[in-house]
C-alpha cells in the first residue's frame, strides 16, 4: 500500500524519530511511504542513509518498500498517485494543499475508495487511552466533510495499539530471555555505565553526587543537546570536595547506534516517547524524563506509567524527584530491582502485537 504520514516537528528527537521508525518499519514490510515533515534536518544524523538534501527531500529503498521524505509544503499534482492510508502523527492537521489536492482527486475519481484516515496519538498509560483507541471522529467541515478519521493510540496494554517493535527486537529479546538467569546474576549493585538523555532536571546535580559517592569507576554517556548543557551546569554545581564524575559527550547518533548505546548501559536516563520505548526493549534499568507541561498534566501521565510498570518504591521515588514532582531526595539506585522490573514489563509487552502489525490489521478492517 501507499501511505502518507504527516509529522510536525516539536521535538525533532521524538516526533521525527517515531515517524521515521514507523515509516522504515512499514517499508521493511513492503509498503511505500510519503513522509511529510516540516523540519527533516535531524534525519541527517538520525537516518544518514536517507541522504536528505538541502531542500528536505530524500528517497530510500528499504527491503521491498520505499520511504520518500517530502517537505511539508511540497504539494502533489494532478498526476500524483492517491494513497491508501493517511496518518496524522501526534494529532497534527493535514497541510491545506494536501486537503485541496485530495478533494480534487476525489471529484475526479468518485468511485475510488477513500483512504483510511488515522490520527496516531501520543503514547500514554492513562486509562482514557483504552477508551479512546479506535474510536471514529467524523469530519464536520471543510472540503473533506463527511469523511471519518480514526483515533489510534499506542499503548502498553492489549486494549491499545501497542508499541513500535521491529523483528530484530523480537530476536534480541528471545536471546536475552534464554539467558535471563545468567543475565541477572551478572547485574552489578551499582551502574558502571549510564546514558543520559534528558531535558533540565533539577535533580541532576544530586544524581551526580550519588554516582560520585557510590561508584568511582562509573561513566556517564551524555547525549547531545539540552541534556548535555544541563550536565555541564550540574558539574559546575557539584560541591568541590566531591570527585568529578567520569563522562563522555556523545555526538548525535543514527537510530541503530543509539539503540546499541542503550543496550550497552546498565542504567538509561531517557526522555520523551521514542527513547523510552527503545529503553524498554533493552531490558536495562531506566528513568524517564517526561515532557513537562505547564498545566501539570505530565504528573498524571508519569504516575500512570509507573503504575503500569509496577515500579518498586525506590524507582517511583527516583522518577518523581527526577521530574520535579517531589521534594524528597533521590533514593539510592537499586539496579537489581529496577532491572528486574523493566524485564518483567518487557515480557508483558512481548506478548502483545506491535504497533505496525495492529495498524495493518486496522487498515485492512476499515479499508
CA–CA separation, 20 and 9 (whole Å): 12
Q: Residues 207, 237: contact at Cβ < 8 Å?
A: no
**Could you confirm whether 15 is annotated as catalytic?**
yes
Which residue shows C-alpha cell 533493552? Answer: 282
Catalytic residue among 121, 259, 266, 273: 273
In this structure, how many other beta carbons lie within 10 angstroms of the beta carbon of residue 29? 15
Query: Which residues, 6+ apart, have CB-to-CB distance to 107 below 8 Å?
Result: none
Q: Residues 20, 69: contact at Cβ < 8 Å?
A: no
Coil/strand/helix, residue 120 = strand
Q: Residues 331, 189: contact at Cβ < 8 Å?
A: no
**Burial of residue 152, with CB atoms counted within 10 A of its CB: 0-12 exposed, 13-18 middle, 19 or more buried:** buried
Catalytic residue among 15, 88, 259, 354: 15
Residue 213 Ramachandran class (φ > 0 left, ψ -120 to 50 alpha, else beta) = alpha
- Helix 226-237 vs helix 204-214: angle between axes, to the nearest 10 degrees? 60
Q: Which of 286, 204, 215 is nearest to 246 (CA)?
A: 215
**Could you confirm whether 273 is annotated as catalytic?**
yes
CA–CA separation, 254 and 45 (whole Å): 5
Cell of 329: 531526595
- Helix 167-178 vs helix 335-350: angle between axes, to the nearest 10 degrees? 130
In degrees and rounded to multiples of 5, residue 93 shows phi and psi of -90, 150
Which residue shows C-alpha cell 541503530? Answer: 256
Please tell me what DSSP assigns to residue 81: P
CA–CA separation, 215 and 207 (whole Å): 12
Residues with a catalytic annotation lie at 15, 273
Amino acid at each position: 500500500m501507499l501511505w502518507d504520514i504527516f509529522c510536525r516537528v516539536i521535538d525533532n528527537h521524538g516526533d521525527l524519530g517515531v515517524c521515521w521508525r514507523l515509516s522504515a518499519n512499514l517499508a521493511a514490510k513492503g509498503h511505500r511511504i510519503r513522509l511529510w515533515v516540516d523540519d527533516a534536518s535531524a534525519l541527517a544524523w538520525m537516518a544518514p542513509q536517507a541522504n536528505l538534501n538541502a531542500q528536505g527531500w530524500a528517497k530510500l529503498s528499504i527491503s521491498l518498500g520505499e520511504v520518500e521524505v517530502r517537505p511539508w509544503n511540497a504539494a502533489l499534482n494532478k498526476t500524483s498517485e492517491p494513497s491508501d492510508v493517511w496518518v496524522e502523527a501526534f494529532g497534527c492537521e493535514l497541510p491545506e494543499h494536501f486537503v485541496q489536492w485530495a478533494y480534487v482527486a476525489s471529484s475526479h475519481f468518485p468511485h475510488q475508495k477513500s483512504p483510511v484516515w488515522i490520527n496516531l496519538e501520543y503514547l500514554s498509560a492513562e486509562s482514557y487511552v483504552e477508551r479512546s483507541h479506535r474510536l471514529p471522529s467524523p469530519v464536520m467541515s471543510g472540503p473533506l466533510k463527511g469523511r471519518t478519521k480514526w483515533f489510534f493510540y499506542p499503548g502498553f496494554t492489549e486494549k491499545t495499539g501497542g508499541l513500535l517493535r521491529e523483528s530484530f527486537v523480537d530476536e534480541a529479546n528471545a536471546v536475552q530471555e534464554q539467558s535471563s538467569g545468567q543475565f541477572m546474576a551478572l547485574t552489578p549493585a551499582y551502574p558502571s555505565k549510564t546514558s543520559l538523555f534528558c531535558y533540565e532536571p533539577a535533580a541532576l546535580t544530586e544524581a551526580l553526587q550519588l554516582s560520585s559517592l557510590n561508584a568511582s569507576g562509573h561513566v556517564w554517556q551524555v547525549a547531545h543537546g539540552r541534556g548535555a548543557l544541563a550536565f555541564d551546569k550540574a558539574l559546575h554545581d557539584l560541591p568541590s570536595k566531591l570527585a568529578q564524575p567520569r563522562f563522555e559527550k556523545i555526538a548525535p547518533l543514527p537510530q541503530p547506534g543509539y539503540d546499541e548505546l542503550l543496550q550497552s548501559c546498565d542504567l538509561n536516563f531517557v526522555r520523551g516517547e521514542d527513547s523510552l520505548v527503545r529503553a524498554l526493549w533493552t531490558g536495562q534499568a531506566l528513568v524517564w524524563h517526561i515532557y513537562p507541561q505547564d498545566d501539570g498534566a505530565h504528573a498524571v501521565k508519569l504516575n500512570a506509567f509507573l503504575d503500569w510498570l509496577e515500579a518498586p518504591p525506590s524507582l517511583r521515588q527516583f522518577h518523581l524527584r527526577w521530574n520535579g514532582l517531589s521534594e524528597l531526595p533521590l533514593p539510592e539506585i537499586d539496579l537489581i530491582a529496577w532491572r528486574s522490573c523493566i524485564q518483567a514489563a518487557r515480557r508483558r509487552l512481548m506478548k502483545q502485537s506491535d504497533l505496525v502489525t495492529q495498524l495493518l490489521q486496522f487498515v485492512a478492517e476499515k479499508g
